[in-house]
Chain A
Amino acid sequence: MFRFDKTRLDLAREFRANPFGEHSPDLQYLLNIVRAPRPGPFHVLLINEAGQRWTLAMMEPGKPPKSTNVVFTGLAEAEWHIFRERWAALAGEECPLE
């Protein structure tokens, strides 16, 4: 059974390089874990300006999103930021990759 492994930085590098599109089987397994529904707040992106600017927000079922002060000008950047936050939650420590 595939499990989260904080030593698999190769998968984090692969995601950082290519957050959208074809992924290796192991990265796809990992993404299915990091994107698995869990209790508690989950990440959404609020559209500030179409195709240009998005704000990270957290949302709980049944409640409006709560904006953070984290703003992105690219969606790949947003995906990587959120990936790192989830990695840290699963690993119990920061993802060492910037």
Chain B
Amino acid sequence: MKRVMGYCDRWSAAPGETVRFMVSCLDTDRYEAQLVRLRQPDAGPLATKFEPEAIAAALNGAHQGRHQPIPAGSLAAVPAHPALAPKGSFSLCAYVYATTPAKGRQALISTWCEKGQNGYALELDANAALTFRSTGTLVSTGVPLRERHWYFVAASYDADAGTMTLHQEPIAAHDFHPEHAVSVIRSIAAPTQPTHPLIFAAHADGATEHPSSWGGRAFAHHFNGRIDSPRLAAVALDRAGLAGLAATPLAAPLATVLIAAWDFSRDISGEAITDLGPHRLDGTIVNLPTRAVRGWNWDGSETNWTHAPQQYGAIHFHDDDLVDANWASDFNYTVPDDLRSGVYAVHLSTPDFDYHVVFFVVPPRGTARSKTAFLASTATYTVYLNNRGRFLSTMTERYQGRVTMMDWIDALLIEFPEMGLSTYDRHTDGTGVAYSSRHRPLQNFRPTGRHWNFNLDLFIVDFLEKLGGDYDVITEEDLHKHGYDLLKPYQVILTGSHPEYDSADMLDAFETYLRRGGRMMYMGGNGFYWRIAHHPTRDGVIEVRRAEGGVRAWDAEPGEAFHSFTGEYGGLWRRNMRAPQRLVGVGFISQGFDKCSYFRITDDAKNPRAAWMFDGVEGELLGDFGILQGGAAGLEIDAVDPKLGTPGHALVVGRSENHSNTYELVAEEVLIPHGATDAVINPDIHADITFFETGSGGAMFSTGSIAYAGSLGWNGFDNNLFRFTSNVLTRFRDPTPFPDPA
């Protein structure tokens, strides 16, 4: 199959701004490109026909392509320096915590070049034993490191004696594993000492003509696990001397022979690694290994790394970390001044394959071209990017209540695991993925395939197109940067179907907007649920720490609930006293994926404050039809809860019913398992369509269901949910203030 894939460097582009596109071909060197505006998802015969609008652009047409590999795997790199190649005796030490010690050779501290077979390295050998490597030399302890256990490891080369001594010592960890410290001494030839960079957690593998994660080099033998407090001295040290080298602060007599003492507890939010030694051999992390993780000396006395960074001096490296594929760009597109705001994509195609690289054209910066904005859930899209757990886990079918669906674009993730992970996945060592980046080819940010997030949000775009297309598109990425100023020009903001992830700045912007008369239509379910942190310098890189409660694919490790990017406590916004019910009236209560249901119109609908929503709306049920599993209420659903912050004056004008067994109460609502947790017997499980005024003329409307958007276009938009939702949007566009609720 001739395939093509790609990504672009920015998701939000205003007129005058340029988007760079990176493309890779598989089994072909030719592809076609066509710029299109997306107006609906590819959703089959029950939905609006999928008809992207072709847009004239210089990029359109045939292109010559080539394969661009993806340099996955994290490491830390220190540029080459003569001091890293000591001419005589030397010692190096560190604390290490291996998470897949048995996977094969893994580098710990290395100037070794695999391609050139020179330099030196401390590594784990194929038997997971600590090993010193230099040209023609291998010295191993012969004893495997235990998985997920801290060790002090050291190598000491005595040039006068011509010996290498290795030490491998388990650190006590409140358990009773029978294990002893190991030391070995062997005669060796003097290590070759070319001037190479020093790499933590990988071996350099020579220069590469392909995309490189650092320095134009390829890397091999990535380590899975943690490295803490690596140090290097120009002297052969015995065990007591090594203790001095490892000590903090460094033993004073070693000051004159110290080469480097890297302190990974510095600049945890950034990408630098700091050397406290005389040469200032600072370096950088590469491909975003996880920081703000427990170090070898973490004792549980502090769980916030900002309060005790000295206990968070470790970096956790993974062989599948990826922050940027670093592909060469193939073409650019500068947004013309007269291009309307909207959802756009470059459609890449071969005779066998279609692939869309999506981006959003926003209005000129600081302006609006409509009173209505669709807020693309770019934070949530980013967090979900390349989610493979959905179809690689056999557990999925059980909780979804239906056979897993996928397509050949999904399958790319299996064939090319180096495309990287989502924060719904686990690394190859089983640890949860805390970071996600959009700077890589993407499998689930497209108008085709399973209807979820972006693809499902195109039903909302379809709705806005049906109403005449008078809307701007703005993004959460810009919302985080610009806050309330981004929302200020708009009379009404429509969210996506699943705006699940928010930074504090994003929530503050919504709150300010609503308090100052803005109107918001929360068009989905399970929104405003998890706290996220944005990378301090890289756009489109987001962190999630899945702490404490919540429906989650993994849970944060002990002592690791605080984001490395910001130092903020992670987890559910509910655990941060900003439950979604406070902002939008409803919050996540259940999920199920086998069948969607409907809303029954409630007595609150007759309240004059809400009766206008029902002008021309027929029937007692709303949305008992739909493209997504047959109804408007489902997939992930939200309910009111006054205890969690639903305002007392909120009106619930529609409440869903008749959900299936697969709809279970969310984990945070089940403190003691009791069995009565599915929708067949638990009356708490329902979606609530909710409305309330927010003061200063503003108002909030929440659909409480992800599936809602999939019913708007049913029967060619001739249905009561479309009428009902159109009434809400029409009124929300009307500047006439809503009454003050106080």
Binding site for B on A (CB under 8 A): 19-23, 28, 31-32, 35-38, 42-47, 49-52, 54, 59, 61-65, 75, 78-79, 82
Within residues 392 to 413 of chain B, which ones have a CB less than 8 A from any CB in chain A?
Answer: 392-395, 397-398, 401-408, 411
Chain B: CB-nearest residue to A62: B414
Given contacts A21-B595, A22-B658, A28-B661, contact A51 B43 (CB under 8 A): yes
Is B277 positioned at the interface, with any CB of A under 8 Å from its CB? no
Provide the residues of chain A in CB contact with B448, threshold 8 Å.
Answer: 50
Q: Is the CB of B405 within 8 A of A44?
A: yes
| Binary contact track B402-435/A, C-beta < 8 Å → 1, others 0 | 1111111001001100000000000000000000
Q: How many residues of B contact A (CB 8 A)?
A: 38
Provide the residues of chain A in CB contact with B659, threshold 8 Å.
Answer: 22
Is B319 positioned at the interface, with any CB of A under 8 Å from its CB? no
Is B554 positioned at the interface, with any CB of A under 8 Å from its CB? no
Is B173 positioned at the interface, with any CB of A under 8 Å from its CB? no
Provide the residues of chain B in CB contact with A61, threshold 8 Å.
Answer: 392, 394
Query: Tally of A-B residue pairs with Cβ under 8 A?
Result: 83
Within residues 26 to 49 of chain B, which ones have a CB less than 8 A from any CB in chain A?
Answer: 42-47
Q: Which of B391, B393, B403, B407 has the most CB of A within 10 A?
A: B403
Q: Is the CB of A52 within 8 A of B661?
A: no
Q: Is the CB of A51 within 8 A of B404?
A: no
CB-CB nearest 10 A-B residue pairs: A51-B44, A37-B394, A20-B595, A21-B595, A50-B44, A47-B407, A20-B594, A35-B398, A45-B405, A64-B411
Chain A: CB-nearest residue to B42: A50
Q: How far is the CA of A52 from the CA of B627 in the complex (A)?
A: 12
Chain B: CB-nearest residue to A18: B595
Q: Out of B403, B450, B680, which one reaches A82, CB within 8 Å?
A: B403
Is B449 positioned at the interface, with any CB of A under 8 Å from its CB? yes
* Cβ of B730 to closest chain A Cβ, rounded Å: 30
Q: How far is the CA of A42 from the CA of B595 in the complex (A)?
A: 22
Q: Is the CB of B660 within 8 A of A51?
A: no
Is B629 positioned at the interface, with any CB of A under 8 Å from its CB? yes
Q: Is the CB of A23 within 8 A of B407?
A: no
Q: Which of A23, A32, A62 has the most CB of B within 10 A?
A: A23
Q: Is the CB of B406 within 8 A of A65?
A: yes
Provide the residues of chain B in CB contact with A52, threshold 8 Å.
Answer: 44-45
Can you name 27 A-B residue pairings with CB atoms under 8 Å?
A20-B595, A20-B629, A20-B630, A20-B660, A21-B595, A22-B680, A23-B660, A23-B661, A37-B393, A37-B394, A42-B394, A43-B403, A44-B391, A46-B405, A46-B407, A50-B43, A50-B448, A51-B43, A51-B44, A51-B45, A51-B47, A52-B45, A62-B392, A64-B414, A64-B415, A65-B414, A82-B403
Provide the residues of chain B in CB contact with A32, threshold 8 Å.
Answer: 398
Q: How far is the CA of A21 from the CA of B402 in the complex (A)?
A: 10
Q: Is the CB of B406 within 8 A of A22?
A: no
Chain B: CB-nearest residue to A78: B403
Provide the residues of chain B in CB contact with A64, threshold 8 Å.
Answer: 411, 414-415
Q: How far is the CA of A67 from the CA of B449 in the complex (A)?
A: 17
Chain B: CB-nearest residue to A61: B392
Q: Which of A23, A28, A32, A47 has the most CB of B within 10 A?
A: A47
Q: How far is the CA of A63 from the CA of B415 in the complex (A)?
A: 7
* Cβ of B102 to closest chain A Cβ, rounded Å: 17
Provide the residues of chain B in CB contact with A20, threshold 8 Å.
Answer: 401-402, 594-595, 629-630, 660
Given contacts A35-B397, A52-B44, A62-B414, contact A22 B403 (CB under 8 A): no
Q: How far is the CA of A31 from the CA of B629 in the complex (A)?
A: 19
Chain A: CB-nearest residue to B681: A25
